[in-house]
Amino acid sequence: MTTELLIDELKHIIGSEFVLTAEEDKSPFLTDWRKRFTGKARAVVLPSNADQVAAIVKACAKSNVPIVPQGGNTGFCGGATPHGSGTEIVLSLKRLSRVRDIDTANQTMTVEAGCILQSIQEKAAEHGYLFPLSLGAEGSCMIGGNLATNAGGTNVLRYGNTRDLCLGLEVVTAQGEIWHGLKGLRKDNTGYDLRDLFIGSEGTLGIITAAVLKLYPLPVAQWTTLVATPDIPSTIALLNLFQQRAASLLTGFEMMTQESLDLCAKHFPQMANPLQGKPPFTVLIELSDHESEDHVRQLLERILETALEEGLVSDAIIASNLTQANAFWQMREHITLAQAQEGANLKHDITIPLSGLDSFMQKTDALMRQRYPGIRIINFGHLGDGNLHYNIAPPEGVDPLAFNQAEEVPIHELVYEQVELHGGSISAEHGVGQLKLSGLRAHRGAVAHDLMKSLKRALDPNNILNPNKVVLI
């Protein structure tokens, strides 16, 4: 089938205004959030329901035209960006944005893939519930993209990754069939877990059109504190102290180095670190309680007292109101935005077992500074999960693009070698996409990688769903 015939068929399925072919209309869908990847597409299509998605996949399968699913386009690995060949179509899920059901007895919510994460949180709160997935892009990322990348964020410590928050899925397969898996069951051992197969598959095995999400009771009180710690061993000891004493009330534990906060203050002066004396590490800690304000506040104060006595913490500020607590979180979340303003940088989204974190940071920092004097290591992350965003910006005054072009490969090699030596992962929460494709076989090992290829071949034998992302077959 020629491109023209396919486009006509797609227009017939969803209406011509939802099949974008003009360059200016397609362009917002062709570059990723970080502006690292730009591709081309025959068309961008915007279906409004699962039947239309299925019909589009069938039409494309008949013509052997690959499809790149796209949610909010905030991913960091180029998974939602088409390649440069111009043969693919981008399928945006943004019009599948209905909340289909809220079941308060079952504590679940059924939503379509194009629902913006923040709108899901707000809808849940209107009904007195918490949907705990929370990340810096929540105003624009979509739940389908969160599921497809198994996104993490700031609440993983207490509630888990997106995978842990999902009970069922509706998925369009590579053959254009619809798998109706929207059961809100907490137990279902009837063979292979298809839901978990599609979650985290980055659009390479199926297109998620809807999901059943878990809801939790809204906490009645939340207290947030910023503390200064001298080093990583003290920071981990502090985490362990909070885990022991606050247990499931601990909902956030975010670490930021002074270098990352300096960058944040440079671009957002109103978000300077309120702790005095530029501590090497600043930790944002949040406790959430279902009992009372007093209960959680007293618990927080008692734990901080112990931490001060034991020398784990040198200074602490407890947010006195919601505005101040939000300002602490804003500071944490603006590090990523400050990096984007500073210019291109080399990102590493890694996890290390907490017991090896200090050694990893000491060795990697030393090697990096020895090889690149003046280099800026923008290091922060969801420390409670052992997840570091170990990002590298060139020395002040050096052109970031030229630096990255020359040093990207050796810098990635240096970081990933240390990750392997410390038993970590080269992608903690952002996925693989096209960014980490080449390193995956070496990282996962031949057996795991071959199993992944077998799955891809079995579910998508013609390789039409997001080809050349995650695994090459």
Q: Does 113 contact ligand FAD by CB under 6 A?
A: yes
Q: Which of 152/168 has CB closer to ligand FAD?
A: 152
Task: Name the one range near ligand FAD by CB under 6 A: 16-24, 62-70, 242-250, 259-267.
Answer: 62-70
CA distance linking residue 389 with residue 337, whole number of Å: 13
Quote the least distance from Cβ 271 to ligand FAD, whole Å. 14
Q: Does 146 contact ligand FAD by CB under 6 A?
A: yes
Q: Does 141 contact ligand FAD by CB under 6 A?
A: yes
Q: Does 435 contact ligand FAD by CB under 6 A?
A: no
Q: Does 148 contact ligand FAD by CB under 6 A?
A: yes
Token pair of 145, please?
């993209």
CB count, 10 Å around CB of 221?
16
Q: Are strands 43-45 and 89-92 parallel, antiparallel or unpaired?
A: parallel
CA distance linking residue 137 with residue 132, whole number of Å: 14
Q: Does 151 contact ligand FAD by CB under 6 A?
A: yes
Quote the least distance from Cβ 50 to ligand FAD, whole Å. 10
Q: Does 66 contact ligand FAD by CB under 6 A?
A: no
Task: Name the one range near ligand FAD by CB under 6 A: 17-25, 137-145, 179-187, 443-451.
Answer: 137-145
Q: Are 152 and 167 in contact (CB under 8 A)?
A: no
∠ CA 94-138-452, rounded to 5°: 70
Residue whose structure tokens are 């959680």: 296
Q: Which of 207/319 has CB closer to ligand FAD?
A: 207
Which amino acid appears at position 134 of this protein? S
Quote the least distance from Cβ 168 to ligand FAD, whole Å. 14
Token pair of 90, please?
């981008």
Q: Are 411 and 352 in contact (CB under 8 A)?
A: no
Token pair of 272, please?
């300077």
Q: Does 79 contact ligand FAD by CB under 6 A?
A: yes
Q: Which of 268/315 has CB closer to ligand FAD?
A: 268
Q: Does 136 contact ligand FAD by CB under 6 A?
A: yes
Q: Does 384 contact ligand FAD by CB under 6 A?
A: no
Q: Which of 135/325 has CB closer to ligand FAD?
A: 135
Q: Measured in whole angstroms, how far is the alpha carbon of residue 10 from the centre of its chain?
A: 31
The number of helix segments (H) and strand segments (E) in the chain equals 15, 18
Q: List, in sequence order, the alpha helices (H) in 29-177.
A: 50-63, 117-126, 143-149, 156-159
* Binding residue for ligand FAD, selected from 30, 67, 207, 316, defined by CB under 6 A: 207
Quote the least distance from Cβ 54 to ligand FAD, whole Å. 13
Q: Does 249 contact ligand FAD by CB under 6 A?
A: no
Q: Which of 75/279 has CB closer to ligand FAD?
A: 75
Q: Which of 204/234 has CB closer to ligand FAD?
A: 204
Q: Does 351 contact ligand FAD by CB under 6 A?
A: no
Task: Name the one range near ligand FAD by CB under 6 A: 37-45, 67-75, 259-267, 417-425.
Answer: 67-75
Q: Are strands 43-45 and 19-20 parallel, antiparallel or unpaired?
A: antiparallel
- CA nearest to 391, candidates 254, 234, 257: 257
CB count, 10 Å around CB of 444?
17
CA distance linking residue 288 with residue 297, whole number of Å: 10
Binding residues vs ligand FAD (CB under 6 A): 33, 68-76, 79-80, 93, 113, 135-137, 141-142, 144-146, 148-149, 151-153, 202-203, 207-208, 336, 429-430, 433, 466, 469
